[in-house]
Amino acid sequence: MYSFYWSLDGVVYMSPSRREFLSQCSVLTVGAVFLPYLRVQEKTLLYKITRAKVFCKGKWQTITVGINELGRIVLDGVEHYPAKYTYDAQNYVLSPGFIDILCDNSANPERTYLIVEKYKITDGVTTALQMHGGQHEIRTYYSTFEQKPHYINYGVSTKIMNIRNQYATLAARYKKVEQCLEQGALGVSHSIEYQPTPFEELLEYAKIAHKYNRTFFLHLRYSSKEQELEGVKEAIALAERTGVRIHIDHLHSTGGAFNMPQALTLIRTAIEKGLQITVCVYPYSYWATYLHSKRFDPGWQQRYNLDYADLQVVGTEERLNAQSFAKYRTTVKLVAVPEGTLPLNKTVDLALKEDFCMIGSDGGIESEPRANSHPRGAGCFATSIKHGLEIGIPLEKMIEKMTILPQKVVPQPLSDRARIVDGAWADLVLFDPQTINGKATVSNPNQFSEGILAVWVNGVLSYEKGNLLQKQGKAIIWE
């Protein structure tokens, strides 16, 4: 008995299934053949991706990449192994799947997570981690979501804001942070601008993160022209005093919005002294946040040189006035500032030239058909590639900023991802560098990116040319 498989190139293959194979063996011989059968599983290919343009060993090469039935990449000797399916990449770029370390979906994840993952995978993301926010009941979070199907890999950080809201004493807060890390949280995260916190308390969180070898992710304290560099200096001081790895969230909107050259100089100098500091940006010239946040406390017009009519309710065409601003200020409503508020050539472009800068979306599309979510939640990574190429950054450097660099800030649980090497998990994205582009807009964030041709998650083809296929995502937990 044999099973027939139709490959994506139209070729029909024939091979025995595992059950059929064993059924053909006598009871006496099963033991003798079973172990050899298991040994060859690693080299029994589920896919051969041929004519793929891959950056490896320091140069672009056109190669064949195999995916075995364990969901792992096979390169060595791949041409000698049969495959159930052959996928002709036609010289398109095959990259490790993009890692979004700054996915945003902590408000109501049980209701929204599949929508968020849908717009991530269609942007080439195979792993989305909530490291700007996250959760404070880590064991409950993972035990709940491990029972659910996922398009992509997922994981969370320790959300200090929640812990500070629920625990009144410092001792209880510190104990809870440690508990979260012991239960597998991927880092420690805090938004000091939205929840101002004394430096000495931050210092203790940094010490705990360092003790557990986690990164401390920070949304900095200030976003005004006069004070933003003080927030950068504070982050550097935390690294200097504790040795903790620090990651600064979206530096171009909080920390370097007005003084990016000076912010980058401060960080570069700190790194040269041996401190571990990274930053991320998203390639949009405008930011968006909730009207009830401290960013819109009195004086916001002067801080940002904006007025009511400059604010647009995301997912609509609505512009605000004094009355609607006051009404929405008491609700959970996301508004965007105009394009050009953060000039790319003075912010993002400068940061992208630094080796310590990576891509992080700070976004997630939480509802349909028109989400009240920044379009970066759907188009950040495709837009990043297009923009990087437009400003002269080599494609391999942009891919590095979306794969290897994010892996380094969550090193242990992502150690076998983010690279196309033998034995790594087959998280892969195939894209056309000529057409790749994010299509999401402020008025309509719910749009798939262009140029993303196929995405494999843990070795399974999960998205292809506008079609969502199988759900094969796994939990990313710090063991």
Looking at the fold, whether 80 and 120 belong to one and the same domain comes out as no
The average pLDDT across 7-11 equals: 33
pLDDT above 70: residue 105:
yes
Return the minimum-mean-pLDDT range out of 24-33, 180-189, 281-290.
24-33
Alpha carbon distance 98, 452 (integer Å): 12
458 falls within a domain: no
Last residue of a domain, one of 58, 91, 124: 91
Nearest to 357 by CA among 239, 250, 228, 234: 250
The separation between CA 399 and the C-alpha centre of its own chain, rounded to angstroms, equals: 13
Q: What percent of the chain has pLDDT over 70?
A: 91
**How many other C-beta atoms can be found within 10 angstroms of the C-beta atom of residue 342?**
22
CA 389/CA 186 separation, integer angstroms: 31
What pLDDT band is residue 461 in, cutting at 50, 70 and 90?
A: very high
Q: What percent of the chain has pLDDT over 90?
A: 89
Same domain for 261 and 349? yes
Residue 410 lies in a domain: yes
**Is 266 within the bounds of a domain?**
yes
Cβ-in-10-Å burial (0-12, 13-18, 19+) of 137 comes to: middle
pLDDT tens digits, 133-150:
899 999 999 999 999 999
**Does any domain span residue 467?**
no
Q: What is the CATH number of the domain that holds 181?
A: 3.20.20.140
**pLDDT score, position 116:** 98
Q: How many helices (H) and strands (E) does the chain have?
A: 15, 22
Residues 281 and 359 in one domain: yes
Residue 4 has pLDDT above 90, yes or no: no
Q: What is the mean pLDDT of the chain?
A: 91
Q: How many domains does the chain have?
A: 2
Tokens of 212: 């557990």
Instruction: Encode pLDDT of 56-71 as tens digits.
Output: 889 999 999 999 999 9
Q: 150 and 198 share a domain?
A: yes
Question: Is the separation of the CB atoms in 29 and 43 below 8 Å?
Answer: no
Q: Are residues 206 and 350 in the same domain?
A: yes
- Extract the runs of DSSP E, i.e. beta strands, from 57-152: 59-68, 73-74, 83-88, 93-96, 98-100, 125-135
Instruction: Give per-residue pLDDT as tens, 246-272.
Output: 999 999 999 999 999 999 999 999 999
Structural contact between residues 128 and 88, judged by C-beta atoms closer than 8 angstroms:
no
| More confident site: 25 or 368 | 368
Residue 444 lies in a domain: yes
Kindly state whether residues 65 and 136 are assigned to the same domain.
Answer: no
Sign of the four-CA dihedral 159, 162, 165, 166: negative
Give residue 6's pLDDT. Answer: 30
Q: Please tell me whether residues 81 and 114 are part of one structural domain.
A: no
Single residue among 91, 111, 145 that ends a domain in this structure: 91
Q: Which of 104-113, 251-260, 298-307, 366-375 has the lowest mean pLDDT?
A: 104-113
Q: Which DSSP symbol is given to 47? A: E
Instruction: Tell me if 214 is assigned to some domain.
Output: yes
Domain boundary among 91, 123, 150: 91
Let me know if 448 is exposed, middle or buried by CB neighbors in 10 A (0-12, 13-18, 19+).
Answer: buried
Of 427 and 4, the one with more pLDDT:
427
Note whether 43 and 178 are same-domain residues.
Answer: no
The answer on 39 and 155 residing in a single domain is no
Which pLDDT band, with edges at 50, 70 and 90, does 42 fall under?
low
Count of other CB atoms within 10 angstroms of residue 419: 17
Single out the residue of 410, 377, 356 nearest to residue 217, CA to CA.
Answer: 410
Residue 222 lies in domain:
100-287+337-419+434-450
CA distance 120 to 440: 12
169 and 268 part of one domain: yes
Give yes or no: residues 30 and 84 share one domain: yes
**pLDDT in the model for residue 39:** 44
SS3 of 280, please?
strand
Residue 195 in tokens: 């929840």
pLDDT, mean of residues 273-284: 98
Residue 104, in any domain of the structure: yes
Binning pLDDT at 50, 70 and 90, where does residue 43 land?
low
Same domain for 158 and 276: yes
Is residue 473 a part of any domain in this protein?
Answer: no
Q: What is the pLDDT of residues 371-414, one digit of tens each?
A: 999 999 999 999 999 999 999 999 999 999 999 999 999 999 99
Answer yes or no: is pLDDT of 25 > 50.
Answer: no
Could you report the per-residue pLDDT of 339-356, keeping only the tens digit for each?
Answer: 999 999 999 999 999 999
Residues 6+ apart with CB under 8 A from 19: none
pLDDT band at 15 (very low <50, low <70, confident <90, very high): very low
Chain CA centroid to CA 94, Å: 18
Task: Give 27's pLDDT tier (boundaries 50, 70, 90).
Answer: very low
